[in-house]
Amino acid sequence: MSLLTHLSDIVGQAFSDLGLPTELGAVVPSQRRELAQFQSNGAMAGAKLEARPPREIAQDVIDRIATHEEFKTVDIAGPGFINLTLTDGALASWAAATAADDHLGFAVAAEPSTVVVDYAGPNVAKAMHVGHLRATIIGDSLARLFDFAGHNVIRDPHFGDWGFQMGLLIAAVEDDGVDPTSITLDDLQRIYPPASERARQDDAFADRAREATVRLQQGDPGHRAIWKQMKSASEVSQRANFAALGVNFDLWYGESDVHDRIAPMIEAMRESGVAEESDGALVVRVAEEDDNREFPPLILQTSAGGFLYSTTDLATIDMRNQELGADLCLYVVDRRQTDHFVQVFRAAYRSGVAPQSMVLEHIGFGTMNGPDGKPFKTREGGVVRLADVIKLVTDAARDRLDEAHLAEEYPDEERDRIAALVGVAALKFGDLINNRASDYILDLDRFSSFEGKTGPYLQYAAVRIKSILRKATVLGLAPGDIIDPGADSERELVLELLNFPEVVERAIALRAPNHIAEYAHTVAARYNRFYDECHILSEEDAGRQGSWLAVSSWALATLSILLDHLGIEIPDRM
């Protein structure tokens, strides 16, 4: 159990004894640490229910809990806040119990759900670009968090490999004259942008692309062969990008993998009347009465007979329900696709493709911008490839390591690996520290700095704890029992570490890794203060020293889990 749950139980019981709702006893860390360690604000709400002054209710609660042995002080502040401070002995025993727990006090799900995280979503036609970077970073963090919480997580990249873009490429490849059996990703990247532009202006070409899409989807062997070659050409670079980011998937599925489900799904929707003809196309109406904007019908099949992005998304929901038994699907996709997901989810529930019990959620996010505040582009205004961004941050990390004289005399191979880990940490943390719905600016200098709220700062803090623990081992010292905190900075660190379960809970409930990023930074900063004030290795009192080492290894365990939730790896040394 977590300390805050325990305290909330005690105070909640007092509220309930007074005939008030137990939930009013919720205890949170104090907003004003100079007054107390914890507070409970329920007396104000209780006062409204009972038409009594809040301070009176607070006093009644206090009378019931004040003698509890874990409390050092219990008192009223302001309009009726209940302030609590624990004895050092109580803190030490909570510290010991929490540090010894595998999940550091976090209660894993009693009944695990099957959670599909749909993220990354690169398209075969194009190199992965920075737009897919945010999806990858945020989605991966959410997958890690749900995994930690004990759920059965299935990571699915949902590659874009089946819609109009494929027909467009096939038509363009025919015109380009490149040998389709040996087509490379570079070819695709050269061919796609002008083809996409041309389809907008040249109707005949757009028609050909549409026809090619239909023929591909209907199984034309020649088209399937070109498509396969294009898919494997881009797979090589996708795998390399994901490896560089330390991201792994459980499935390697794309839109095309649900193709066989489409015909029966559409047939059932036609029979039930959910799908209707409209101008030769087959659509599902999704508008609802109190919509505040227009939601056009979802197109299941075009008049030319092709299936679109929405069609494969619906069939994928069918697969996730039937085959994977998904309870919850998180779609980590740019928030500009909000309307698409509203359409798809409504159609899924209306048609019964998704049972009402299946939860479908779009986890939207903002854009990563360049220094000019506009979507990150190359100097020539082109789309920046993910591989180039990774190189940029790795180079920046190497410069910072040099400046800070870190990893200086290590073998080249290790230095390269450290620079890669630091670069990726800079990128991921720079993203995840933001509220996911906001846009942010990719600021290489700031992100890669070893100071401030950055990934490298956190890595360095963790590496330093590792190194202290290693030095202790060399000196024959080992972590001992955690005893009463001996210094302010130690007490603050312990209190902070005890917040872990609630922070993780919040991050999961809100699908918001920024809570983890923020908290990881606070923990590292608290540890650094503790380390400055408490000279662990030269401490003469062996009991105190052993306790400090135990607190240090608890802090390292906490930071390691938090950084893991952010997808950040900690080097052994720096």
User: CB of residue 210 vs ligand ARG: minimum separation in angstroms?
Assistant: 19
Distances (CA, A) of 444 to 371, 426, 455: 10, 8, 12
User: Distance between CA atoms of 449 and 424, rounded to whole angstroms?
Assistant: 13
| Per-position DSSP letters for 374-404, written without gaps between them | SB-B-TTS-BPBHHHHHHHHHHHHHHHHHHT
Cα angle value 176/180/184 (rounded, 5°) = 90
Q: Is residue 343 a contact point for ligand ARG (CB under 6 A)?
A: no
User: CB of residue 235 vs ligand ARG: minimum separation in angstroms?
Assistant: 14
Of 118-126, 172-180, 423-431, 510-518: span binding ligand ARG (CB under 6 A) = 118-126
Nearer Cβ to ligand ARG (160/546):
160
User: Distance between CA atoms of 389 and 129, rounded to whole angstroms?
Assistant: 9
Q: Is residue 385 a contact point for ligand ARG (CB under 6 A)?
A: no
Nearer Cβ to ligand ARG (123/229):
123
Task: Give the one residue of 118, 257, 318, 505 binding ligand ARG; rule: CB under 6 A.
Answer: 118
Task: Give the one residue of 25, 46, 80, 160 binding ligand ARG; rule: CB under 6 A.
Answer: 160
Of 19-27, 117-125, 232-240, 544-552: span binding ligand ARG (CB under 6 A) = 117-125
Q: Do residues 211 and 167 make contact, with C-beta atoms less than 8 angstroms apart?
A: yes
Q: Is residue 241 a contact point for ligand ARG (CB under 6 A)?
A: no
Of 115-123, 140-148, 205-213, 240-248: span binding ligand ARG (CB under 6 A) = 115-123
Q: Which amino acid is at 257?
A: D
Q: Do residues 565 and 148 make contact, with C-beta atoms less than 8 angstroms apart?
A: yes
Task: Give the one residue of 30, 123, 136, 514 binding ligand ARG; rule: CB under 6 A.
Answer: 123
Q: What are the tokens at 247?
A: 């991201």
Task: Give the one residue of 12, 46, 121, 546 binding ligand ARG; rule: CB under 6 A.
Answer: 121
**Strand, helix or coil at 76?**
strand
Q: Is residue 161 a contact point for ligand ARG (CB under 6 A)?
A: no
User: CB of residue 510 vs ligand ARG: minimum separation in angstroms?
Assistant: 21
Residue nearest to ligand ARG (CB): 121
The closest alpha carbon to 406, from 421, 393, 391, belongs to 421
Task: Give the one residue of 333, 420, 468, 562 binding ligand ARG; rule: CB under 6 A.
Answer: 333
User: CB of residue 162 vs ligand ARG: minimum separation in angstroms?
Assistant: 10
Q: Is residue 331 a contact point for ligand ARG (CB under 6 A)?
A: yes
Nearer Cβ to ligand ARG (118/496):
118
Greatest pairwise CA separation for the chain in angstroms = 86
Q: Do residues 302 and 207 make contact, with C-beta atoms less than 8 angstroms apart?
A: no
Q: Which amino acid is at 97?
A: A
User: Distance between CA atoms of 282 and 300, rounded to whole angstroms?
Assistant: 5
Task: Give the one residue of 151, 155, 158, 210 binding ligand ARG; rule: CB under 6 A.
Answer: 158
Residues numbered 302 to 321 that lie near ligand ARG (CB under 6 A) are: 313
Q: Do residues 454 and 430 make contact, with C-beta atoms less than 8 angstroms apart?
A: yes
Q: Where are the beta strands (DSSP E) in 279-350?
A: 281-284, 298-301, 328-332
Residues that bind ligand ARG (CB under 6 A): 118, 121, 123, 158, 160, 313, 331, 333
